[in-house]
Amino acid sequence: MYFGLSEEQTFFQDNVKKFLDDQAPLDVIRQITAEKNTSIQEEIRQGLTNLGLNALLIPEEYGGLGLDLLFAAAVSEGLGSGVAPIAYSGSYVMAPLAIIHGGSDAQKENYLTKIASNTVKFGIGLSEYIGAREDAKLIINGNKVNGKALFVIDADDASHFILSDDQGTMFIVDADDSGLEVIELTSIDKTRSYVEILLNNVTAEILDNTVKNNNAIEKTIDAGRIMLAADSVGAAQVMIDKSVEYAKERKQFGRVIGSFQAVKHMCAEMTAELEPCYAIVWHAAHCFDYIPEEARLLACQSKSHISEVTKMVAKKATEVHGGMGFTDLLGLHYWFKRIGMNRQLLGSPELVRDEAGKIQGF
Amino acid sequence: MDLEYGKQYEDYRVEVQEFCKKYKGVQFNDTAKIPLASNNKSGGPVMSRSDWQKILIENGYFARSIPKEYGGYGGDSDIIKSRITATEFSNQRIPGPMGGQGIDMLVPTLLELGTEEQKNKFIKPTLHGEMIWCQGYSEPNAGSDLASLQTKGELIDDKWIINGQKIWTSTAQYAQMMFCLVRTEPEASKHAGISYLLVPMDTPGLEIRPLVDMTLQAGFNEVFFTDVTIPGKNIVGKRGEGWAVANATLGHERGSLANPNATMNRLNMLINRMKKETIDGKKLIEIPMYRDRLLKIQGKIMAFQSHALRILSSKLNPGQDVKIGKMIQKLVGTELRHELEGLGIDIMGELGTLYEDSPYLRDGGSWQFTYMYYLGLIIGGGTNQIQKNIISERGLGLPREPKVQGV
């Protein structure tokens, strides 16, 4: 019995973190979020692709690494800790899983090989299935789709999108289709991109095994939620580490503020709440592949619970930094906003808990 | 990640299940003497608590790694077997072994630091439930700052003469023995002046007064010492080493205050109640605001349970680092249980306030009782504020609060 990340998973995660520390320090993040699509962002994307991020979950028969979701979660934690300005959860976790679980053999052969070789890149938008805002809706008619998809994630650079109607039927559209319009949404989180897509008689390739049942879309959303939760855990840990570091240096009233219980107790509270979050998100990722009967509840509860804990951490960590925490200069807000975004994506905590209730027949 | 225990353990599980069948519904004819022991009133074999302890030891379900000569099973400690035993017993509602401060704290201390004579004399009857112990640590003026304790012990003619007062002493009224911390070296510094003594409770000059707590039960006592005289050899470790001896056992206590599986069992009880209980004819589980609160705490409990697996794993896999993970358990576990019990009250509204033998009482009033009881545990065993000091100082390396001048 062993509960935790393996040596390989830790090693890979460390490599991701180290890469981001070296290639995407705060001033680089700042530059990328201000200017968008800079060449430096492209270099970071390329570097992480070189590490194999795009191919993690693709089975070996399609040219991928054939790793499991816990591996992907370990990576996501690393990306969250570095507020990585790249697409991941949507493009390289949810999209491949949507195709693995929802695609025909031909679709798998076609798309999985191309994701692994980095010749296609997917954005994904399932908000119309999870909970439609602004009456957004997609109507499938034969092989044509009309309507609107909101909060499509990982859209920058995408050659294709995977979208869904409100019944959980997923389909692929080409980003170059003349009936497709991409409208950028400006969110608080500028490390990743979010868009709206308008579809006017766009040609859709329906994922064959998503028409009759919702298994594939549920797996895809579960995995996405686990990735976002892991990303938030990574981000929250950095916020705590920065708080502790700051509390050891900053002096007021002739002593370091970390010696005041008002401050040190905030650090202890953040740590005490975050520590079990590692366990539940790893547990959820492990069950996703190996203990399916426990997987759905764990996926929902890790997403909603971690959203709550990391929101608390984001607030308290900012407070520990005092006025500096509030400034752009310190840049702590990149982590604050990353956590804030992850919380709402693929279902805010209340929505996800409601789903957890339904899974248990409440 | 590997959550399988392997075949040898699945065989062991079957063996435990057989045992559980054999003793289903076991009852005790002396339960009342031992507080907080689980009781089961559905017809099965009747025996004394002590006989039950012996059966558990014979089968290796208790005192597994304690040598035979001291009354244990004499095997290797096996965390997975212990876990399987606990799970199967809980599923089959078979009462587990007695706990208490003698078994949980004194026995490990004696095994580590006791003399051969002390081990031979005290461990066996303690394991068999024939010798109950209480812990004499806290004093009215030594709570969180335990090391400032003032109960005095003087060694005269190879006898300890003890004067002073202890407080929050649970089970003192049932106990035959007390292990306690006493200031024996008044000249030494605060921590270096304490010794760890073993006191028979029937020694003249020792007086017990019950202390009624907010649950309206006398869960604690005050114990007064007036020239209480005990043999000089009733000391564990050397003179002035009591603080280190006691610290070896405080760790045992903290871990046992917040069992995630017990919390999960209570959550399942709450879910069942919410499926039955109604307001305006509507089941509580179907009311979104109650359901959201239930699911919110379920998420916390699931995280804490997963965390316990990680801690278990670290015991089986040396080198797995969970230092901070262990430090948070008392804080998180007790707050979580308190919150859960409070939710049990809230969902029942006015019904949730009923207590003792009131009409319409739900679950024996256990939601209110445990809600209050866990507030006691939040304060006891090192208050949760002290836990936060431990996490931030020893875990995160933040500096201690500077001492105030002149105090």
pLDDT at residue number A71: 98
Q: Best of A232, A266, A270, A280 to disrupt the B interface by mutation (most B CBs within 10 Å)?
A: A280
Name the residue among B1, B388, B396 with its Cβ closest to that of A70. B1
Distance from CA of A207 to the nearest CA of B (A): 32
ipTM > 0.85? yes
Helix (H, G, I), strand (E, B) or coil at A126: coil
Q: Domain A7-117 belongs to what architecture?
A: Orthogonal Bundle (1.10)
Nearest-angstrom CA–CA distance, A172 and A13: 31
pLDDT at residue number B79: 86
| Bridge partners, B177 (sequence order) | B133, B200
Q: What is the pLDDT of residues B154-192, one digit of tens each?
A: 999 999 999 999 999 999 999 999 999 999 999 999 999
Helix (H, G, I), strand (E, B) or coil at B143: coil
Interface contact flag, A271 B298, Cβ < 8 Å? no
Could you tell me how many CB contacts below 8 A there are between chain A and chain B? 165
CATH top class, domain A122-210? mainly beta
| Sign of the dihedral through C-alpha A78, A83, A88, A90 | positive
Mean pLDDT, to the nearest integer, of B6-25?
93
Query: Tokens standing for B304?
Result: 């804490």
Query: Tokens standing for B19?
Result: 């045992």
Record: fold of B257-396: Butyryl-CoA Dehydrogenase, subunit A; domain 3 (1.20.140)
Label residue B30 by pLDDT band (50, 70, 90): confident
Interface contact flag, B396 A267, Cβ < 8 Å? yes
Under a CB-based contact definition with an 8 Å cutoff, are residues B72 and B65 in contact? Answer: yes
Whether the pLDDT of residue B386 is over 80: the answer is: yes
Helix (H, G, I), strand (E, B) or coil at B400: coil
Q: Among the residues of B23-106, which ranges form H helices?
A: 49-58, 79-91, 101
pLDDT at residue number B36: 39
Residue B87's identity, in one-letter code, is T
Under a CB-based contact definition with an 8 Å cutoff, are residues A190 and A147 in contact? Answer: no
Whether the pLDDT of residue B31 is over 80: the answer is: no
Least confident piece of the model among A31-45, A159-173, B35-49, B110-124: B35-49
Determine whether domain B131-251 maps to CATH 2.60.120.260.
Answer: no
pLDDT at residue number A241: 98
Interface contact flag, A269 B388, Cβ < 8 Å? yes
Residues 6+ apart with CB under 8 A from B130: B50
Q: Which of chain A's residues have a Cβ under 8 Å away from the Cβ of B309?
A: 3, 279, 283
Q: Which of chain B's residues have a Cβ under 8 Å away from the Cβ of A269?
A: 388
For chain B, give the mean pLDDT: 92
Q: What Rg, from alpha-carbon coordinates, does chain B have? A: 23
Enumerate the domain spans of chain A: 7-117, 122-210, 214-360
Name the residue among A5, A267, A308 with its Cβ closest to that of B392. A267
Helix (H, G, I), strand (E, B) or coil at B269: helix
**Would an 8 Å CB–CB cutoff place B324 in contact with chain A?**
yes
Place of tokens 């409990």: B301
Interface contact flag, A357 B316, Cβ < 8 Å? no
Interface contact flag, B292 A1, Cβ < 8 Å? no
Label residue B338 by pLDDT band (50, 70, 90): very high
Label residue B256 by pLDDT band (50, 70, 90): low
Q: Do domains B131-251 and B257-396 have the same CATH topology?
A: no
Place of tokens 């994701």: A115
Among residues B265, B296, B257, B299, the alpha carbon closest in space to that of B384 is found at: B257
Q: Do domains A7-117 and A214-360 have the same CATH topology?
A: no
Query: Tokens standing for B50?
Result: 């002590």
Interface contact flag, B2 A272, Cβ < 8 Å? no
Place of tokens 């009224």: B173
Whether the pLDDT of residue B205 is over 90: the answer is: yes
| Sign of the dihedral through C-alpha A39, A41, A42, A48 | positive
Does residue B253 carry a catalytic annotation? yes
Name the residue among A259, A302, A350 with its Cβ closest to that of B399. A259
φ/ψ of A117, rounded to 5, equals -90, 5
Whether the pLDDT of residue B115 is over 90: the answer is: yes
Interface contact flag, A244 B397, Cβ < 8 Å? yes
Indicate the pairing of strand B27-28 with strand B46-47: parallel
Nearest-angstrom CA–CA distance, B31 and B48: 8
In tens digits, chain A (362 residues) has pLDDT values of: 999 999 999 999 999 999 999 999 999 999 999 987 689 999 999 999 999 999 999 999 999 999 999 999 999 999 999 999 999 999 999 999 999 999 999 999 999 999 999 999 999 999 999 999 999 999 999 999 999 999 999 998 899 999 999 999 999 999 999 999 999 999 999 999 999 999 999 999 999 999 999 999 999 999 999 999 999 999 999 999 999 999 999 999 999 999 999 999 999 999 999 999 999 999 999 999 999 999 999 999 999 999 999 999 999 999 999 999 999 999 999 999 999 999 999 999 999 999 999 999 99
Distance from CA of B52 to the nearest CA of A (A): 31
Nearest-angstrom CA–CA distance, B143 and A290: 48
- Chain B, residues 328-357, CB within 8 A of chain A, namely 328, 331-332
Among residues B91, B97, B90, B22, the alpha carbon closest in space to that of B63 is found at: B97
Nearest-angstrom CA–CA distance, B94 and B59: 14
Q: Which of chain A's residues have a Cβ under 8 Å away from the Cβ of B389?
A: 261, 264-265, 268
Among residues A362, A297, A351, A355, the alpha carbon closest in space to that of B286 is found at: A362
Nearest-angstrom CA–CA distance, A141 and B14: 57
Under a CB-based contact definition with an 8 Å cutoff, are residues B325 and B315 in contact? Answer: no
Nearest-angstrom CA–CA distance, B1 and A3: 5
**DSSP code at position B344:** H
Among residues B201, B200, B182, the alpha carbon closest in space to that of B139 is found at: B182
Determine whether domain A214-360 maps to CATH 1.20.140.10.
Answer: yes
Percent with pLDDT over 70 in chain B? 94
Enumerate the domain spans of chain B: 8-98, 131-251, 257-396
Under a CB-based contact definition with an 8 Å cutoff, are residues A265 and B385 in contact? Answer: yes
pLDDT at residue number B37: 41
Percent with pLDDT over 90 in chain B? 79
Under a CB-based contact definition with an 8 Å cutoff, are residues A56 and A74 in contact? Answer: no
